[in-house]
Structure formats: C-alpha cells, structure tokens
Amino acid sequence: MIPHKPGRERDMVKTLKDSGCDTVCLIPPAHKDKFDITVELISATKKADIPNVLFISTAGCDVAERDKQPHLRQFIDLECLVMAAKGDGSTSTGHSPCIIRAGFYAEVGSSATCCLL
C-alpha cells in the first residue's frame, strides 16, 4: 500500500514511476477536494507515462446541469481530462483508456483513489 498525499503532484509522479505499474484505475474519492485530487492524479498519470487507464465515473453526469447538479457535472470535466490524453502525443497515457459510468450504488459508494497494476 502506497499512501497518496494530495497536493504534491511531483511526488505522485515519482511514486507511480517507481512502482513500475503500467495500468491505473482512477476512482474519484469521497472527499471535499475530490475534483482537485482527481485532476492531480490524472495529471500525474500522464506525466508518469502510464498507458492503460480505467477511470470510474458516474452515471447521470451527462444529464446533470452545471448549476443544479454541479458535483455530478464535474465528472464530465474529469472524463474530458482523461479522454484528452488520447490526442496528446507527449504521453503514452490515453493509448489504452476505458471509462465506466457507474450507476447509483446500492450499498457502498466509491472509496479508493487509484490502484495500480
């Protein structure tokens, strides 16, 4: 288990590189800084040049309105950041992406931030 201290992207990039992983599953955490933490992880994933990225998004983000359901709508912004890597020649990230929009969880919602394979 490698702890992630949000706010130090440079350290996260090093952690990802040192782990030797080639696959990341990014799950936005249940945290007040969910958006910033996830943006940092997506950016760190790109800088660490990790080719396979699975992003866990949420169903309904596409029909959420920015003024009425802003927290849900943020998932669209995060998805766009992940997808943007596809056309970014400076990184391998985006070479093999996948996004799951998970429906309303019956029991326990998203918890992890990322896991590496």
Burial class (CB in 10 A: 0-12, 13-18, 19+), 58: buried
String marking each residue 21-60 x if it binds other proteins according to CB under 8 A: xxx-x---xxxx-x----------------xx-x-x--xx
Query: Judged by CB under 8 A, does residue 14 bind other proteins?
Result: no
Which among 19, 99, 113 is positioned nearest to 57, based on CA atoms? 99
Q: Which of 4, 17, 76, 81 binds other proteins (CB under 8 A)?
A: 4
Q: Which of 10, 67, 68, 80 binds other proteins (CB under 8 A)?
A: 68
Q: Which of 19, 49, 81, 91 binds other proteins (CB under 8 A)?
A: 19
Structure-block tokens of residue 73: 């709508």
- 65 sits in the region (left: phi over 0; alpha: psi -120 to 50; else beta) called beta
- Sorted by sequence, the CB contacts under 8 Å of residue 63 that are 6+ apart come out as none
Interacting residue ranges for other proteins, rule: CB under 8 A: 1-4, 19-23, 25, 29-32, 34, 51-52, 54, 56, 59-60, 63-64, 68-72, 79, 86, 95-117
